Structure 1
């Protein structure tokens, strides 16, 4: 029984030592991964700071130096340019430093991802360290620099101490080539040595994770637990924890020795009570410890032996085991809690990124507010909120959007003075207001909000800022019984600053759209007034002045036939000639202002007459074709079509000096297609289009404006060898409804025209 118990204890001790060593190795690997995740989050945050992206290295270095004092586990923080120069460093540099050859910098630049340079000896501290790098991406998606952090591995000493490893235990970290990077304790004598020839190296490289009983690099037999470190680097690293074989069996050997001495003194008593005592006091305890060990190995850190603690070895072993279980369970709970916190942060950051991407994709204020409501309610779990926009002219807050708040409550404050309630403090100081109970905040305290929505708990009021100016406020309510945490307050405060800029841009866009609508309405009415005035002047010239001059001519001709007016005859003939020329000039002026053919017979007859007239005057060959040959179109379409052709032919005569001009007019379904081509001297369309409106050709600008006012499109192409072509497409049912612009704006525009 003694020999069996001793063997069992040695086996259990070996298994326990191996399991503890493997657990410790996994804990080191897990802490490495956790530290890598924390560093990644830190680098992501640093990459978004304006000091990191700015052009003032001293400001960045001061900020990083302050962070280094807060996080002593880091040996350095900094920023590397794309050329490898360290432009910002928490640790002052004695000379310029270039890290272009470092593996973590090259990997971060090459893959645009978070990278690790592996474990190296820190040149400043003389201790092993781990370097990480993350590309900094600007708003256009381009990489502008690389932010890095260097982590000291001295924290492993504290980890070993807290884990209560035996005094002779060792912890080794080496790379895939067998080079020792960390050796605790006494890492200095072993740092940089190679394990490639040791059985320990080959076993760990072959299996990557497990346990083994081997002689260490110092020749001492140990029970090892080992695993692989998962780091975002190009190389592979392994960690091994070894417990001395003699130390692992020390307690079992001591128990065996004691039992042998007792056997010599009380052989008869031991023989008679062997079965009962062994079963009751040894086997059951061993099985309890074994069962707890197996549950522990399966991942159940709440497993305990359930044995009473005494002075016996098994009791001591059970006590040590249970204490170790408590420590590891506490660490596991802390790890799970940290993971949950990281997940919450990732969720919040993801929601903010989604929110900013969504609201930035539109400049429509309504769409921006709807996107904001959806993300806050669905992704950030904010059950209720109200958005007020600030009207600076009236110094009032106006309700623009809300969710989760009953309409009966909202109806009580659609708009109110901005200096009311607590909003005066928020607007004046541009700071948030947090109240644990929303029903203690006016104006909500004056309503039945708590009765209607008892699930609302705390209240948070955030100013929406853009360039230091208040754009409005957003009221947020938390889900009962939880209150807003400090992290949430900080998150929503940052969000308020970003949303203020987005809302400000949306308001500016709304003003631009409204101004453009007013300009289009004004242009349309101005052209209409111009055409009416031309029509009136044309009629006046033709009906009044033309007829008066004709009557004068007839009277002069009659006077010449009455008597012998030989003396007056030359003067009368000259007067009649002057009146003929004047009548022709009046007729030409009337036709140039607005030919009566356009109103009487339509655009096809007017264009056919005008093209033929201009061709005869300028001496070019003209070809006009209309399909169908006769068509009547809406007045605004006919006027637009005629004026575009008129301006195009004027440009042909003045600038192109063409010999042939062709004009095709076609009605295709609900669209009018107009093409004008000449073989004259072309021009650079792009160069003319890039000029400011004040320098642009008024003819081209007028053609574009006329086409756009009736909902049409115009395309101009020109080449020095092939001349110029103008292609116009006009809808036959143009959207000229003044209802697109508010009625007050129409009346104001009409008064301006008058």
Structure 2
């Protein structure tokens, strides 16, 4: 589709294919504004682009927008426009358009598929967390309680007068029971955080930081503002999972001495930042499936936050530490939609 326009955007000429592709006769378009065949929502941007071409002649500008055929059907075009100045000083615009409707439809289909896959990924993640919670609760309520009861009965036996060999056996059994109880508690917390469901996100993050600090030389601090009492449970699960992955990543890779976790809750949403003073990395290459966060990764955090209406940002450079920020709205209706 080829058009020749005045500086004001009036059609001076159009080739036959261009007119017929839009469902018009050539004489129906000549003398009319080009905006007549431009989609109403795109007219301001097209008008602005054409004006910019006139200001900077002899420069080709390209952009994509929608046109409307005579029968009302819509097509996408890629337009290339170039302003020329005639010997009398009058400016004219030479415009060439390609129909890119098929490509746009494919792109839209791919975007919709990606959104569906993202929602499915979120639901699978939430289903996994629910199953981990169920298993963790089973460990605590059944195995953990049975071990604790056995230990209590063994202490009663230890209080009795026993032969030395019997006492050694009882003490050995007690040590094994203590180790089993500790292992069960550790496994329960590794599967899921009971505190997350009982006391909320902030308490769970503080507990996680305390446990990590007890096992490491890194100094962890947490500061918070606002209340997380009304955050939806599923949102808490995703945010805790993302924060835990970031903290584990810091411990494995950052080579830092201090880490600060900041939790800010407002009426609109929640903002969590994890900042370290470590080695840093090239944030421009992060989030592509192979980064310093390993299997879960920056990409996965971002993918799980998007269906929540949230976002994930990383600011880092080699040698100056890393700051990761998670932002999510308080209201999350799409979680229910994804189920």
TM-score, normalisation: structure 1: 0.33
1:151-550 matches, within 5 Å, as 344=27, 347=30, 361-362=64-65, 368=66, 371-373=67-69, 377=70, 385=71, 499=99, 502-550=100-148
Go from structure 1 to structure 2 and tell me whether the alpha carbon gap of 1:657 and 1:703 turns closer, same or farther (over 3 Å shift): same
SS of equivalent to 1:518: helix
CA contact (8 A) 2:308 2:335 kept: no
Q: 1:284-322, CA deviations, whole angstroms, 9 ceiling, x for partnerless residues?
A: xxxxxxxxxxxxxxxxxxxxxxxxxxxxxxxxxxxxxxx
Unaligned runs of 5+ in 1: 1-40, 46-342, 363-367, 378-384, 387-400, 403-463, 465-494, 740-745
CA contact (8 A) 1:713 1:728 kept: yes
Counterpart CA distance in 1 for 2:108 and 2:307 is 20
Counterpart CA distance in 2 for 1:571 and 1:732 is 56
Go from structure 1 to structure 2 and tell me whether the alpha carbon gap of 1:604 and 1:632 turns closer, same or farther (over 3 Å shift): farther
Q: 1:420-465, CA deviations, whole angstroms, 9 ceiling, x for partnerless residues?
A: xxxxxxxxxxxxxxxxxxxxxxxxxxxxxxxxxxxxxxxxxxxx9x
Go from structure 1 to structure 2 and tell me whether the alpha carbon gap of 1:551 and 1:669 turns closer, same or farther (over 3 Å shift): closer
Aligned partner of 1:736 in structure 2 is 334
1:350 shift after superposition: 8.4
Unaligned runs of 5+ in 2: 1-11, 16-25, 47-62, 76-96
Aligned partner of 2:239 in structure 1 is 641
> RMSD value over aligned CA atoms?
3.6
Structure number, greater radius of gyration: 1
Go from structure 1 to structure 2 and tell me whether the alpha carbon gap of 1:361 and 1:735 turns closer, same or farther (over 3 Å shift): farther
* Counterpart check, 1:625 vs 2:223: yes
1:560 shift after superposition: 3.8
CA contact (8 A) 2:221 2:261 kept: yes
Go from structure 1 to structure 2 and tell me whether the alpha carbon gap of 1:695 and 1:718 turns closer, same or farther (over 3 Å shift): closer
Aligned partner of 1:657 in structure 2 is 255
Aligned partner of 2:175 in structure 1 is 577
Go from structure 1 to structure 2 and tell me whether the alpha carbon gap of 1:658 and 1:351 turns closer, same or farther (over 3 Å shift): same
Q: 1:587-640, CA deviations, whole angstroms, 9 ceiling, x for partnerless residues?
A: 011112222111111112212222122112112212211113674422123223
Go from structure 1 to structure 2 and tell me whether the alpha carbon gap of 1:514 and 1:688 turns closer, same or farther (over 3 Å shift): closer
1:532 shift after superposition: 0.7
Alignment length, in residue pairs?
Answer: 277
CA contact (8 A) 1:603 1:632 kept: no
Aligned partner of 1:146 in structure 2 is none
TM-score, normalisation: structure 2: 0.70
Aligned partner of 2:270 in structure 1 is 672
Go from structure 1 to structure 2 and tell me whether the alpha carbon gap of 1:695 and 1:646 turns closer, same or farther (over 3 Å shift): closer
CA contact (8 A) 2:118 2:304 kept: no
Counterpart CA distance in 2 for 1:572 and 1:593 is 31
1:565-604 matches, within 5 Å, as 565-604=163-202
1:361 shift after superposition: 3.2
Counterpart CA distance in 2 for 1:547 and 1:653 is 32
Greater relative CO (CA pairs within 8 A, separation 6+) = 2
CA contact (8 A) 1:682 1:721 kept: yes
Go from structure 1 to structure 2 and tell me whether the alpha carbon gap of 1:545 and 1:724 turns closer, same or farther (over 3 Å shift): same
Go from structure 1 to structure 2 and tell me whether the alpha carbon gap of 1:703 and 1:642 turns closer, same or farther (over 3 Å shift): same
Aligned partner of 1:683 in structure 2 is 281
Go from structure 1 to structure 2 and tell me whether the alpha carbon gap of 1:711 and 1:346 turns closer, same or farther (over 3 Å shift): closer
Q: 1:16-71, CA deviations, whole angstroms, 9 ceiling, x for partnerless residues?
A: xxxxxxxxxxxxxxxxxxxxxxxxx9xx98xxxxxxxxxxxxxxxxxxxxxxxxxx
Go from structure 1 to structure 2 and tell me whether the alpha carbon gap of 1:684 and 1:695 turns closer, same or farther (over 3 Å shift): closer
Go from structure 1 to structure 2 and tell me whether the alpha carbon gap of 1:611 and 1:632 turns closer, same or farther (over 3 Å shift): farther
CA contact (8 A) 1:604 1:631 kept: no
